[in-house]
Amino acid sequence: MYKIRIELEKPEPLYLMIKKKILDLIEKGELKNGDRIPPEEKIANENGISRGTVRQALKELEIEGLIKRYPKKGTFINIPKKIKTKKICVIGKSPKEKQMLSGYGMEMWGGIEEAVIENGLELSFFILKKLKNDLSIVEKFDGILHIVPMKEDIEFLKKIKNKRIPLMLLGAKVDGFNYVAVNNKKGVEDAIKYLIENGHRKIGGIFSPLNYFDGYERYIHFLDFLDKNGLPIRKEWIKIMKEYWAEKWVNEAKNLMKEILMEKEKPTAIFTAGALVSIGVMECLEEVKEKISIIGFDDFYLAKYFKPPLTVISQPIWEIGRIGVNRLIKIIDRGGKCELLLEPKLIIRKSVKNLNKNEEK
């Protein structure tokens, strides 16, 4: 059994000297987990101090979880196992500050950071281009989050998957990978159904680039639902944006809407496949004073302040971020997979005119 000997000439409280000595023996490895330390009385006698002083030192160590005291058995070293902090890497195609400029990016990061704080994670962010040039960077992480991957990222994602590092995609449904995204099919169906209920049969649409998984999904489901409901699919009313960077989408959507308005026959309603697309279209309609109904995919702060307030399909962006982090942690700890689509919600305001009653809803 180890001796707990202290130097009494040091100007410190005696109980603190006893405590520090035990901590020193633990740090040096002389006292190991499960070792029994001498009884209070023995430590007191060997150092010429009171048993109460020793008891005070041991009480503090017990409170701190470094020893356990068992009646009739003694006092034992109880070094708690260190909980390894999980290291998570977040990948985006542009700097975080740039992503935060959009309502989508800000909300997504809000959900991610809430889950990171709740779970005590260590978070690092990398631009996709840097990782493509040096994939070894990801090897030091316990898990990877990829925000809104694009079709050209597939080969890179396969390389990460081959390294067997848990990977979660946020905001994009991609077969063969873990993902948390919105149910785009349900969202587009609800939008078209609402337009039809309000008497619209001439429906156009403006979509984000099709190399975005969500943009492509919304586009194909839009065409599918028009066809299933016997509505005309007029190519001149359907536009697909080409700009890669989202901050340019407002102007491009505005110009594409102008092209639609130049047609001899115009649609009565426009479906917009994203918040920035909606803003561009609304700006265009405001400038030309054109009365065309609009329903947008994605809610955002300004939507309810437009004239008229914008009817939208709202997706739970914050929850995609938060749930995505939590599901990734489960995969890190237990394995398995995650293919989760969250349900969107139709929010009715006043941008869709009821052609049946000739009034706005």
Going edge to edge, which strands form the sheet with 36-37?
A: 36-37, 74-77, 67-70
Angle between helices 40-47 and 51-63 (to 10 degrees): 130
Structure tokens at 17: 């000297």
The amino acid that residue 190 corresponds to is D
Angle (CA) 126 129 135, round 5°? 75
Average pLDDT of the segment spanning 61-75 = 84
Q: Give the confidence band of 361 by pLDDT, cuts at 50, 70, 90.
A: very low
Q: Give the separation between CA 198 and CA 346, rounded to whole angstroms.
A: 14
Using an 8 Å Cβ cutoff, are 299 and 128 in contact? Answer: no
Residue 7: the pLDDT is 55
* Interval 5-23: pLDDT, tens: 655 444 567 788 888 888 8
- All residues at 6 or more sequence positions from 177 whose CB lies less than 8 Å from its CB, including other chains: 157, 161, 167, 169
* Interval 220-272: pLDDT, tens: 999 999 999 999 999 999 999 988 777 789 999 999 999 999 999 999 999 99
The model's pTM: 0.75
Residue 117: the pLDDT is 86
For residue 185, pLDDT over 60 is answered with: yes
For residue 217, pLDDT over 80 is answered with: yes
* Interval 289-312: pLDDT, tens: 888 999 999 998 889 999 899 999
3 state SS of 146: strand
For residue 1, pLDDT over 80 is answered with: no
Residue 203: the pLDDT is 97
Instruction: Classify each residue of 198-215 as buried b or exposed e, where b means 16 or more C-beta atoms within 10 Å of its C-beta.
Output: bbbebbbbbbbbbebbbb
Q: Give the confidence band of 3 by pLDDT, cuts at 50, 70, 90.
A: low
Q: Which domains, from first to last, does the chain contain? A: 14-77 (1.10.10.10), 87-182+318-342 (3.40.50.2300), 184-315+345-360 (3.40.50.2300)
Residue, of 173 and 44, whose pLDDT is higher: 173
Using an 8 Å Cβ cutoff, are 347 and 312 in contact? Answer: yes
Smallest Cα–Cα separation from 304: which of 342, 267, 336, 347?
347
Decide: residue 316, CB within 10 A, 0-12 exposed, 13-18 middle, 19+ buried. middle
* Interval 95-148: pLDDT, tens: 777 776 677 888 898 899 999 988 889 999 988 888 888 888 888 899 999 999
Q: Give the confidence band of 2 by pLDDT, cuts at 50, 70, 90.
A: low
Q: Give the separation between CA 222 and CA 192, rounded to whole angstroms.
A: 8
Residue 360: the pLDDT is 45
